[in-house]
Amino acid sequence: MLDETATPHRVLVTGGAGYIGSHVLHALADAGIPAVTIDNLSTGRRAAVPASVPLVEGDVGSAELLERVIRDHAVDAVMHFAGSIVVPESVEKPLAYYRNNTVNSLTLMDACVRLGVGNIVFSSTAAVYGAPDRVPIDEATPTAPINPYGTSKLMTEQMLRDAGAAHGLRSVILRYFNVAGADAAGRTGQATPTATHLIKVACQALLGRRPALSIFGTDYDTPDGTCIRDYIHVSDLADAHVLALLHLRRGGESLTLNCGYGRGASVHEVVRTLEEVSGEKVPATLAPRRPGDPPQLVAKADRIRERLGWVPKHDRLDGIVRDALAWERSLT
């Protein structure tokens, strides 16, 4: 049992009924770390939240709600997942993304500063790098997002740094690469029917829940012409969040860290792996490029291993795909 369970404090997890947030709640529960979550259930599911975690239904943009939850649950740290994440949608609806991702994050930070919550673990993204001219991408790579989603996250990162300098708010900013897979015990997974994650959509197509997988662009400057991404298992990502929280609670300094494995797979490679795992054919169609998609995003992720002692346990693409498919089969 971890020392943190001896304190009355809880971690506030925003968006804990969603895909990544729910995996983190289960990882916190497994580690014996008390938590409370706020989620408006617009895309999340109440059933994804562990029974031991109080769920407060509401919007993280409400200063009054944040103050009540922080005071009532003796919150000393926040893990911030709530937000919008679909890149093409952010191009179509940029103001909605700045409102939900940036303005609401400002409200959350303001509440933390006013109420003495000194630690935030922030869910950021590799989209802050845009389309870099070299890979792998380390944390010193210039940030130049090419879509409003990435810009909204980068703006929040900057606000965290400024709040740290002015108010002592310490943060670990985790820049996710492509999150995939599902809890191996079947407790939670990606359950949004209209999700846009490649592996999720490919599993849906395989099981006949979508007519076909659309492969967006086959003329990128990559070996097989399709986009390359660094896929990270969601359970490994959840473990990274727990380590980030412990780092901050022990007085560690603010950090910005990539979350990935340091190797990429193309869309065609993912499809082939799913077909090998399942023994079935994935129906797929070729489609034009989507706006805002860079050709290749692969992490240089040595720093997170060095600074947090993170050791991935699920870093095989076939395992990621197998867990995702098992979860998809379990859905009714």
| 120 CB-contact burial (10 Å; exposed 0-12 / middle 13-18 / buried 19+) | buried
Q: Please compute Rg for the chain using Cα positions.
A: 19
b vs e for 132-163, b when ≥16 Cβ sit within 10 Å of the residue's Cβ?
Answer: beebbbebebebebbbbbbbbbbbbbebbeeb
Lookup: tokens for 180: 């995939």
Contacts of 293 (CB under 8 A, 6+ apart): 87, 216, 217, 227
From 149, 176, 231, 261, active-site residue? 149
β-pair partners for 180: 233
Q: Is 261 a catalytic residue?
A: no
CB 115 within 8 A of CB 67: yes
Determine the residue type at 256: T
d(CA 148, CA 159): 16
Lookup: tokens for 253: 């300094």
The Cβ-side half-sphere exposure at 305, using a 13 Å CA radius, reads 11
What are the residue numbers of the active site? 149
